[in-house]
Structure formats: structure tokens, C-alpha cells
């Protein structure tokens, strides 16, 4: 049985057995998903069941150092089951040595972006996956190709209240030692929980990056850029990474997740307010489609020096 602690009422996930294949095929047919490869790769499916029967499934097809993620289906009524299944599948893929996870989708790009996947050109997919029959023929040509780096053993999920002490530690490290935030006083746990609650109440998403043992190693969130009505289609994000996990690409998991959620909420533009001297942050934003919209010279002041402030913008 695989871990299922992400949700208060999460269903346990099990490797599929031969007796599960008819139900898997019926579920895929019901959702107009291809059946090709189910018999061949059925042993690498994960299934979720309750007393009424099959509630969800996800398939894995291993090709070289990559894995093709396919057939992700969750029935309505189990909130968060789809994300739970994706995270469990990626854990299993990492345990079996996969370095990259690839999928193709026609309608669920936003959902998968919130799991840390990024849209890529098919030519960027590992050759063994790209050459597989399933990759080439399972989805229509209009499908979007998405990929995730699995080498660092990190998943993305929605933040919970019990994540806030770890989030607070990450943020206060930045307050004390960096210009990633211009705040001087450390935030309290009550203030951190209040921020998380406010994001939830306003319908925005707060994501965390977690290891396989559920340790929080980074987080990202977003909200309105400015409170006036005319700004209602522009949002601003924050991304912070634990000091021991910087430079490993976690920003490229977290930032696409908040971008996808903001896009689904109807935002037109996202802004990142970055210390202009923070070249790593500037390059991260540029790699995800952000462009420099302007710089406020000496707009910030911390550690007894003036700081230039860069505004990075992406159209959603």
C-alpha cells in the first residue's frame, strides 16, 4: 500500500491486479481515454477503491530513464484524489529510477501544471519515451506535451495548516539573511497561519514543495497585485526555497503551479517583484516566460544599502 496522508479522507492506493483491469478499461472508456497499452502495462497501474468500487486509476509506462504518465482518472466526490494519485505515481516512478515524467493531455494542462509539470515541445521528451508507441499514438496531435524532472525527489501539493511552521522557517530565513524580501521583522506563526487562511478565503492557492517523507522544502503563493478594481486581472506571486534546496530547480515546479491556478481563476497577468541583483531569480522567471517590465532604481533599502527592484511580468 502506498502513502496516502495528503488528504484528511484520502483513499489508499494499491498496485492494480488482473482483477482490476476490466474496471480500469471501463473507467477509461467512460472518459474517452485510450485503452492501448492497458493490458501490457496493467501491472504498473495504481488504483483507488472504496466500498462502491473503483474511484480512480493512474498508469505508468517505463521507457529508458523516463516514464509516461497516462490514464489519470478520478471520480467526482473524492476531492484531491487526482493530485494524490499523481504524487503517488511519481513517487513510484522515482523509486524505480525514472528521472523524467512525461504526459500528453488535451484538457487537463492546468491540473498537471499544478502538480509541477511544464509544457514542452515533443522534441524535449527523452528519446525512449518519445519513440514509444503509446506516446506517439495514444493522444491526438492537438495534445499538449508536459514534463517533470524527477531527479530531486520533490512533489508539489496544496499547503495545509500543519505546513505553516516549516513555511515560516523558510520565510524567516529570508527575512534574516537575504534581500528576497524587504521585510525586517520576522513573521510570527500566527501571522503565517493568517496569511494561509486569507489565501484560502480569497480563492487563491498556496502550494508547497515536499519530499517523499512530506518535509516542506519550498513554497509559493499568489494574490492580487493591487487592491483597486482596475487591477483585478493582475496578480503577484511569491516563491521561497529552503536554503538547503536552492539551485535544484524547485522554482520551476512551484511557479508553474501558481501560474496555472491564477490562469484558471481568470487572471490575465502575473507579476514577480524581484531584487534586481538576484540574478538567479531573474533567470528563473525568464525561463518560465516572464519578461522585465521595468526597474525601480533604489526602490528598496535593507542591510544598510539601496536596492533596485525589478518587475518581472508574464501574460497568462
The predicted-structure confidence for 64-76, as pLDDT tens digits, reads as follows 999 999 889 988 7
Neighbour count for residue 50 (Cβ, 10 Å): 14
| pLDDT higher than threshold 70 for residue 185 | yes
Residue 205, classified by CB atoms within 10 Å of its CB into exposed (0-12), middle (13-18) or buried (19+), is buried
More confident call, 153 vs 186: 186
CATH classification (class only), 13-151 = alpha beta
pLDDT of residue 298: 97
| pLDDT higher than threshold 90 for residue 52 | no
Residue 3, classified by CB atoms within 10 Å of its CB into exposed (0-12), middle (13-18) or buried (19+), is middle
pLDDT of residue 143: 86
pLDDT of residue 250: 93
Question: Which residues fall within 8 angstroms of residue 304, CB to CB, at 6 or more apart?
Answer: none
Per-domain boundaries in the chain: 13-151, 155-315
Overall residue count recorded for the chain in this entry: 316
| pLDDT higher than threshold 50 for residue 97 | yes
Q: Are 88 and 210 in contact (CB under 8 A)?
A: no
Task: Report pLDDT digits (tens) over 108-167.
Answer: 899 999 998 988 998 999 999 988 867 776 666 778 999 999 988 898 999 999 999 999
pLDDT of residue 40: 84
Q: Are 84 and 104 in contact (CB under 8 A)?
A: no
Q: pLDDT band at 2, cuts 50/70/90? A: very low
Q: Are 120 and 149 in contact (CB under 8 A)?
A: no
| pLDDT higher than threshold 60 for residue 30 | yes
Look up the pTM and report it.
0.83
Task: Report pLDDT digits (tens) over 227-275.
Answer: 999 999 999 999 999 999 999 989 999 999 999 999 999 999 999 999 9
Integer Cα distance of 147 and 292 in angstroms: 26
Place of cell 533567470: 283
Grid coordinates belonging to 241: 526555497
Q: Which CATH number fits domain 155-315: 3.40.630.30, 3.40.190.10, 3.30.70.360, 3.30.420.40?
A: 3.40.630.30
Integer Cα distance of 71 and 44 in angstroms: 11
Span 17-41, average pLDDT: 88
Q: Of 46, 82, 44, nearest to 63 (Cα)? A: 44
Q: Of 92, 132, 131, 86, nearest to 111 (Cα)? A: 86
Integer Cα distance of 111 and 72 in angstroms: 11
Q: Are 19 and 49 in contact (CB under 8 A)?
A: no
Q: How far apart are the first and last CA of the chain?
A: 39
Percent of the chain with pLDDT strictly greater than 70: 94
Neighbour count for residue 216 (Cβ, 10 Å): 22
The most distant pair of C-alpha atoms in the chain lies apart, rounded to whole Å, by 68
Place of cell 471520480: 75
Place of cell 522534441: 123
Integer Cα distance of 193 and 78 in angstroms: 26
pLDDT of residue 139: 66
Amino acid at each position: 500500500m502506498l502513502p496516502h496522508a495528503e488528504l484528511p479522507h484520502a483513499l489508499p492506493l494499491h498496485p492494480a491486479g488482473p482483477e482490476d483491469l476490466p474496471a480500469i478499461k471501463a473507467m477509461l472508456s467512460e472518459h474517452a481515454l485510450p485503452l492501448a497499452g492497458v493490458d501490457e502495462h496493467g501491472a504498473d497501474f495504481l488504483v483507488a477503491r472504496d466500498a462502491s468500487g473503483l474511484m480512480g486509476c493512474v498508469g505508468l509506462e517505463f521507457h529508458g530513464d523516463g516514464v509516461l504518465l497516462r490514464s489519470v482518472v478520478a471520480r467526482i466526490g473524492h476531492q484531491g484524489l487526482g493530485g494524490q494519485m499523481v504524487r503517488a505515481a511519481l513517487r513510484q516512478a522515482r523509486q524505480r529510477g525514472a528521472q523524467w515524467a512525461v504526459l500528453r493531455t488535451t484538457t487537463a494542462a492546468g491540473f498537471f501544471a499544478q502538480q509541477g509539470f511544464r509544457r514542452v515541445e515533443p522534441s524535449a521528451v527523452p528519446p525512449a519515451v518519445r519513440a514509444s508507441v503509446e506516446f506517439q499514438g495514444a493522444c491526438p496531435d492537438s495534445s499538449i506535451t508536459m514534463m517533470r524532472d524527477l531527479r530531486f525527489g520533490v512533489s508539489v501539493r496544496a499547503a495545509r495548516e500543519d505546513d505553516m511552521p516549516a513555511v515560516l522557517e523558510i520565510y524567516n530565513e529570508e527575512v534574516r539573511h537575504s534581500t528576497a524580501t524587504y521585510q525586517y521583522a520576522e513573521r510570527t506563526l500566527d501571522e503565517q497561519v493568517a496569511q494561509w487562511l486569507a489565501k484560502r478565503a480569497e480563492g487563491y492557492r498556496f502550494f508547497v514543495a515536499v519530499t517523499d517523507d512530506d518535509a516542506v522544502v519550498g513554497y509559493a503563493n499568489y494574490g492580487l497585485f493591487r487592491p483597486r478594481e482596475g487591477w483585478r486581472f493582475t496578480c503577484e506571486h511569491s516563491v521561497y526555497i529552503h536554503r538547503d534546496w536552492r539551485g535544484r530547480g524547485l522554482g520551476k515546479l512551484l511557479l508553474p503551479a501558481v501560474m496555472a491556478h491564477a490562469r484558471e481563476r481568470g487572471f490575465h497577468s502575473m507579476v514577480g517583484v524581484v531584487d534586481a541583483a538576484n540574478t538567479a531569480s531573474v533567470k528563473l522567471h525568464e525561463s518560465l516566460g516572464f519578461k522585465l517590465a521595468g526597474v525601480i532604481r533604489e526602490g528598496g533599502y535593507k542591510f544598510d544599502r539601496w536596492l533596485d527592484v525589478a518587475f518581472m511580468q508574464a501574460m497568462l
